[in-house]
Amino acid sequence: MITVSIIGGTGYTGSELLRILSNHPDVEIKYITSRKMDGVKITKLHPNLKGIKNLDNMTFKNILPEDIDSDFVFCATPHGASMKIVPELYEKGMKIIDLSGDYRFEDIATYEEWYNLEHTGKLDAVYGLPELHREDIKKAKLVANPGCFPTGSILALAPLVKEDLIEDRIIVDSKTGVSGAGVNPSETTHFPNVNENISPYKITTHRHSPEIEKELEKLTNKNIKLSFTPHLAPITRGILTTAHTFLKEDVSREQIIDVYERFYKNEPFVRIFDEGAPTLTGVRGSNFCDIGGFEVDRHGRLVVVSAIDNLVKGASGQAVHNMNLMAGFDETESLLYGGLKP
């Protein structure tokens, strides 16, 4: 049995962490922090969790990081906030899973350029994508949970890059649900602006672009030239990613599928579709990444499609997966369930 605390438990990722961890047989939830909601019952803000374990009796605590004493800490805080919290937890010897972007980059200059924030200093962190870094995650003290777009994009492309089947120019298009923008409403996420509408944003400047590039480049000795464009879709949750790549030579669809099936042979949360393309209804509420499509046009363009739930595989579910690995638990514990369909 381990104790865990969640710093920042009022947002969507915090809520999903509570939902998943409350059903984990080897976890005791110790603290859920919030400055604004101090003393408020957890289930008042998250009524979907009412009646589950002891959450009815728990309240948010306005507690300082130095006063937290648990085995694991999840930082579900905004970019820029985690780096002010994590170092103290790190020095105290606790194991940390940070869901912000603050520790995803080995090169601080890249972070500062794309996030437009001054970093407080580098720590020894492992990028928390289990399909690529499982053994390092097991030994890690600090895991930087991947971004939602990078999760779906990297998993869709990694086998092709690893096997050197495609050119170094890649185009990625992702459609995301409104929950990816966070719990606080804005003009962009206002219902009349989202409903019956699809809006591209940060068309060539999204900060997840270098994160995708750097991870793919670790699989090859070449520089990846990635063009990434996200779109806000009128759905609550999920990310559907379409990756356009260009084959170096003629490869059959069957051979491509075989490459993916071999690459992800022992991965519990990656499902390969040899027919058709995945959909968001297949992964909603689950920790799966579904990958399919694998269509090649007459110009040698290979299209691969992936689908994830942005709040689970793209955030909280992957964070719990990382915790399971770090704690030596069965890595699928409390995560092996199908998507909500319809």
The secondary structure of 261-309 as a DSSP string is HHHTTT-TTEEE-SSS---GGGTTTSS-EEEEEEEE-TTSEEEEEEEE-
Whole-number Å distance between alpha carbons of 305 and 292:
5
Q: Report the alpha-carbon distance of residue 147 to residue 261 in Å, rounded.
A: 24
Q: CB burial class (10 A; 0-12, 13-18, 19+) of residue 8?
A: buried
Task: Find out whether 290 and 306 touch, Cβ atoms under 8 Å.
Answer: yes
Q: Would you name the residues annotated as active-site residues?
A: 148
User: Across-strand partners of 296?
Assistant: 302
- CA torsion 259-160-132-285 (nearest 10°) is -80
User: CA–CA separation, 232 vs 81, rounded Å?
Assistant: 25
